[in-house]
Amino acid sequence: MAKFLEYVPGDSLLHRMSPAAKLVGAVLFAVACFVNSNLVFLLVMLVIALALAASCGLGRQTAGLCKAVLGFSVILAVVLVLTTPAGTPLVPLPWGYIGTGSLLAALTVIVRLMAAAIPLFLVFYVTRMSDITNAAVKQLHVPYKYAFTFTSTVHFIPVFMNDMAGIMEAQTARGVEFDGSLAKKLRLMMPLCVPLLVSSVRKTNSAAIAAEVRGFNLRTRASGYKDYPLAARDVAALGLCVALLGAAIALTALGM
Amino acid sequence: MIEIRNFSFRYREGREPVVRDVSLSIPDGCFVGVTGPAGSGKSTLTYAVNGIIPHCYPGDFYGAVTVDGLDTVEASLTDVSRLVGSVCQDIDSQMVNTVVEDEILYGLENFAVPREEIPARVDEALSSMGIAELRDRTIDSLSGGQKQKVAVASVIALKPRVLVLDEPTAELDPASSVAVFELLARYAREHGTTVIVVEQKIALLSDYADLLVIVDGGAVRYAGAPRRGAGPFRGAAGPGRQLPAVHHAHERAGAARPLRRACRAQRGPGGRGVQGGARMIEFKNVSAGYGEGAPVLRDVSFAIADGEFVAFVGTNGAGKSTTMRLANGLLKPSAGEVLVDGVSTRDLKVSELARKVGFLFQNPDRQICCNTVREELLFGFKALGEEGSAADAAVDAMIERFGFDPDAEPFLLNRGTRQLLALASIIVLAPPVVILDEPTTGLDFRECVKVMDTVRELNEGGTTVIMVCHDMEVVADFARRVIAMTDGRVVADGPTFEVLRDPAALKAAHILPPQVTEVALILGREVPGVPPAVAEADTVSQMVEALAAARGEEAVGSEADAPSDDVAAVLAAEEAAAPARPAACAEGSR
């Protein structure tokens, strides 16, 4: 089973695209989502993002991702609803009111975060980790140590999640009941940070040693064996992302 | 050529040197097996060869270690790595990539191997390890054995003169362990590579190593050829040919007592309560899996009675651990029913299950979470809301029984003691059933005996014990019933020696029989005049005596009695270190 943010092999269009084009495209897409607050535009962006996910058969992973982003953005949305008195008043509050504008703003936040996040996360699902690192180093001129640190961090997320699941399982077997209220769950999970921390430090340490004995310090920009030439589809995709960003800026400039 | 001269090392955090005054010469192309108890300094010795000390773990380094004339202290770690390839113990964190091919490329890219050479190097490394078909697979989707081969391939692609591996088979089943060693040995032979491998499985080492190094207390206790093919067993067919010497070593180290007990139990009517007792754990046509993937377990049925000692065997991925998770309700079946003491796990709460079924996980560090040993032992009572004077008394009894320091910090204890603590924190609750997932993995022989002796006492006290175990010696020594699994199905279920003697069952479950069974099988098959009863796995000494009588050779006897090489001396030293060892099997049965 594919884990969070781990490469899923495939040969969809997104899989075949140049890693650098995917990275830059995803960033442009995310920026476009943030420079514009038009709900209709953002909904269109969300649909495009979901279509991209569907095109490479990652519906399940994306659904999981949407759920996670939703959870996070709902918190933001609630804050917004309570603190943005705008539009027709619906519910009076001691410090203002909740209006149609507040709800609209909250909805915008949720849609924006989801639309912006999906392509960025998709990059990790459709690109081998070494390709992201190497393309970032070779084409985007990111120093290797930074690129490696970043991709390794992403690589370790599922490892740590797996560890946490194992630790929770071990504690469940001892009678700790994790299913219950969130507050109770958090209280029970706090002591488990100790074993997680211990194993994480051990793991990162041995990972560092393993990389070092395979010549980590010798690596230069030219080291990567593979090249990532931009194909017509990459240029087209980048053009499309630039166009989307342009449209977002234009809409904002027009005050829409 | 590797030269270790008067090497001593003290880690910066440590008070005492972990290796003292070791001198060793390793000729080119030698296959070196390093073994010894946990904390004996065997890993430190290999770290000196691959430069991990003093470059990654600083400390006081005395003496000199040179590889082909290169001083591993003076040279940079990168320069040492050009000569010495290293495979670390923790395979999962060693992998820097998500796909097999990229993992092989990684070192080649770093060491700036010419581009035109790279494809051939990758192909060669993959085919040397027999994993050409895994090239485009994600590492995540591989089994433990496959990952180990990828790790080795990623290092041999660099064509190192020396290959250092730290416990490469610690988490592998016997078949995968042999496969890894077989490939390693072949590669080393073909390329003249020197191999240094730290390994607990002494039987594997004596099969493959040219030079066996036994380390204890930071010093080399033996360095020489492992004893092979002693006396009359030489030329006996199959993988058993080098076993007697190894077995002799085991016997002298004290494995004989449980072994004899197992033999005796086997001759009895199948052990206590196997048929008659109440059913503690029952699987009725159980299928189960994770997420949306294919089911890991398919239509599995068995019943385990109160007081039994059952071992589940089979390859990695056969469904054993899933079976254990089902048995204590961590996982619910997708079809069928799992009953614990007559109640379906679907109807039992987490706390009720924890009360009935204790579960010792393979990795004690996932279980240990408290600041002191005492708190750790109390944790289960706290989780169940049963704190009080009874709990305190039970904890005190455990501390007394295991000789723990109640105020010690669990994470600072050594691996074997952490495993014992994890076990103690489970059995302190006195659950009627205890499940052990690979209880001896990563433990040295002494720790293994300590853990398993505790488990046996527990079982003799009436606790039902179910364990998953790759070590067939442990299975043969302790379990009274074996359930063999393959591909999510039960392929054999019966008294230990019957299953381990059954060629069809062994083949179906991809397991190798333990030495004692193999010796019995070889004797029964190969030696004329030996009554078939020998094949029923009597005591080893009786078998050897029977063989001697049949052959009219006294060589067997003298071979068995004389401490004819230093391995025996070393093991005798180990015996002295653990004074509770019983007399050797041969003496006991006379």
Note the pLDDT tens digit of each residue in B44-84.
Answer: 999 999 999 899 999 999 999 999 999 999 999 999 999 99
Q: Is the pLDDT of residue A55 over 80?
A: yes
Q: Is the separation of the CB atoms in B212 and B226 below 8 Å?
A: yes
Residues of chain A in contact with residue B155, where contact means CB-CB under 8 angstroms, are 214
CB-nearest to A175 from B90, B107, B350 is B350
Nearest chain B residue to A162 by CA distance is: B366
Q: Look at A175 and B90 and tell me if their CB atoms are within 8 Å.
A: no
pLDDT of residue B251: 45
Are B26 and B224 within 8 A, CB to CB? no
- The residue among B87, B96, B99, B121 with the most chain A CBs within 10 A of its CB, best to mutate, is B96
Whole-number Å distance between alpha carbons of B479 and B80: 46
Say whether residue A198 is in contact with chain B using an 8 A CB cutoff.
Answer: yes
* Tokens coding A243: 């166009």
- Dist. CA B335–CA B285, nearest whole Å: 7
Instruction: Reduce the DSSP state of residue B273 to 3 states and report it.
Output: coil
**Token pair 């033999």: residue:** B263
Task: Calculate how close chain A gets to B31, using CA atoms only, in Å.
Answer: 21
- Predicted pLDDT of residue B7: 95
Cα B135–B138–B141 angle (5° rounding)? Answer: 115
Tell which B residues from 137 to 156 touch A, by Cβ distance under 8 Å.
137-138, 140, 154-155
Answer whether B296's CB lies under 8 Å from B487's CB: no
Q: Does A203 touch chain B (CB under 8 A)?
A: yes
**What pLDDT, on a 0 to 100 scale, did the predictor assign at position B474?**
87
Assess B58–A contact: CB distance below 8 Å, yes or no.
Answer: no
Helix H segments across B161-315?
174-191, 202-208, 243-250, 256-267
> What local confidence, expressed as pLDDT, does residue B547 receive?
59
Q: Do the first three CATH levels of B2-226 and B269-513 match, i.e. the same topology?
A: yes
Check whether domain B269-513 has CATH 3.40.50.300, yes or no? yes
Best CA proximity match to A52, nearest among A138, A4, A5, A122: A122
3-state SS assignment for residue A72 = helix
Q: Which residue in A2, A172, A217 is closest to B78 by CB distance?
A: A217
Report pLDDT for B275. 47
Contact B421, B368 (CB under 8 A): yes
| Distance in Å from the first CA to the final CA of chain A | 44
Question: Which residues are B358's β-sheet partners?
Answer: B434
Q: Which of A1, A208, A218 sits opposite B110 (nearest CB)?
A: A218
Minimal CA separation from B455 to chain A, in Å: 18
Q: Tell me the pLDDT band of A83, cut-offs 50, 70 and 90.
A: confident
Q: Report d(CA A84, CA B233) in Å as an integer.
A: 87
Query: What are the tokens at B77?
Result: 């770690």
The neighbour count for residue B378, using CB atoms within 10 Å, is 21
Does the distance separating the beta carbons of A173 and B78 come in below 8 Å?
A: no
By the CB < 8 Å criterion, does B328 face chain A?
yes
ipTM above 0.90, yes or no: no
Inter-chain CB pairs, A–B, below 8 Å: 179
Cα gap A112→B419, rounded to integer Å: 49
Whether residue B356 contacts residue B411, with contact meaning beta carbons closer than 8 Å, is answered with no
- Shortest distance, CA B336 to any CA of chain A (angstroms): 22
B338-353 burial, b at 16+ Cβ within 10 Å, e below that, comes to bbbbeeebeebebbbb
pLDDT at B526: 62
**Rounded-to-integer distance, Cα B110 and Cα B97, Å:** 14
Mean pLDDT of chain A: 88
Q: Which of A41, A12, A23 is nearest to A228 (CA)?
A: A23
d(CA B226, CA B220): 14
What's the confidence (pLDDT) of residue B182?
93
Burial of residue B175, with CB atoms counted within 10 A of its CB: 0-12 exposed, 13-18 middle, 19 or more buried: middle
Closest chain A CA to residue B86: A213
CB contact under 8 A, B349 and A177: yes
Does position A35 have pLDDT exceeding 90, yes or no? Answer: yes
* Disruptive mutation site among A154, A200, A209 for chain B (greatest number of B CBs within 10 Å): A209
Q: Nearest residue of B to residue A128 by CA position?
A: B98
User: Which of the residue ranges A77-81, A123-127, B212-216, B573-577 would you say has the lowest mean pLDDT?
Assistant: B573-577
Residue A154 · residue B333 · CB < 8 Å: no
| Cα–Cα distances in angstroms (integers) from residue B515 to residues B240, B404, B486, in the given order | 7, 34, 22
Residue in chain A lying closest to B83 (CA): A213
Residues 352-371, chain B, touching A (beta carbon < 8 A): 353-355, 357-359, 361, 363, 365-371
Instruction: Mark which residues 157-186 of A lie under 8 Å from B by CB.
Output: 158-159, 163, 166-167, 169-177, 179
Taking each helix axis as running N to C, give the angle between helix A129-138 and helix A144-173, from 0 to 180 degrees, rounded to the nearest 10. 160
To which H or E segment does residue B360 belong? strand B357-360
Give the one of B52, B291, B328 whose C-beta lies nearest to A173's C-beta.
B328
Is residue B102 within 8 A of residue A129, CB to CB? The reply is yes
Select from B82, B90, B358 the Cβ nearest to the Cβ of A206.
B90
Is-contact B53 B109, C-beta < 8 A?
A: no
* The pLDDT of residue B523: 65
State whether residue B426 sits within 8 Å of chain A by CB: yes
Instruction: Give the pairing type, strands A89-93 and A96-99.
Output: antiparallel
Asked whether the beta carbons of residue A211 and residue B50 sit closer than 8 angstroms, the reply is no
Sites in chain B below the pLDDT cut of 50: 228-275, 531-538, 553-575, 577-590
What distance separates the 2 farthest-apart alpha carbons in chain A? Answer: 65
Q: How many CA atoms lie within 13 A of B529 on its CB side?
A: 9
Pairwise CB contact (< 8 Å): A167 & B366: yes
Of residues A4 and B71, the one with the higher pLDDT is: B71
Kindly list the domain boundaries of chain B, sorted by start residue.
Answer: 2-226, 269-513
Strand bridging mode B279-288 / B297-305: antiparallel
- Residue B311: the pLDDT is 95
Q: What share of chain A is helix, strand, coil (3-state, %, to 5)?
A: 75, 5, 25
State residue A123's pLDDT score.
Answer: 93
Taking CA–CA distances from A169, the nearest residue in chain B reads B330
Q: Identify which of A82, A103, A101, A78 has the alpha carbon closest to the alpha carbon of residue A93.
A: A82
Q: Please provide the average confidence, as pLDDT, over all residues in chain B.
A: 80
Q: Which pLDDT belongs to residue B545?
A: 59
In A, which residues are within 8 Å of B107 by CB distance? 214-215
92-121 of B, contacting A, C-beta below 8 A: 92-94, 96-99, 102, 105-112, 115, 118
Of residues A9, A202, A217, nearest to B138 (C-beta): A9
Average pLDDT over residues A194-207: 86
Strand (E) positions, A95-237? 96-99
Report residue B52 as tokens.
């991990």
- For the B2-226 domain, the top CATH level (class) is alpha beta
Q: Do B112 and A210 touch (CB under 8 A)?
A: no
Q: Do A171 and B158 touch (CB under 8 A)?
A: no
A 90-119 residues inside an 8 A Cβ radius of B: none
Which chain A residues are Cβ-neighbours of B118 within 8 angstroms? 225
pLDDT for res B447: 83
Has residue A224 got a pLDDT over 60? yes
Q: What pLDDT sits at residue B503?
A: 82
What is d(CA A123, CA A65) in angstroms, rounded to the nearest whole number? 13
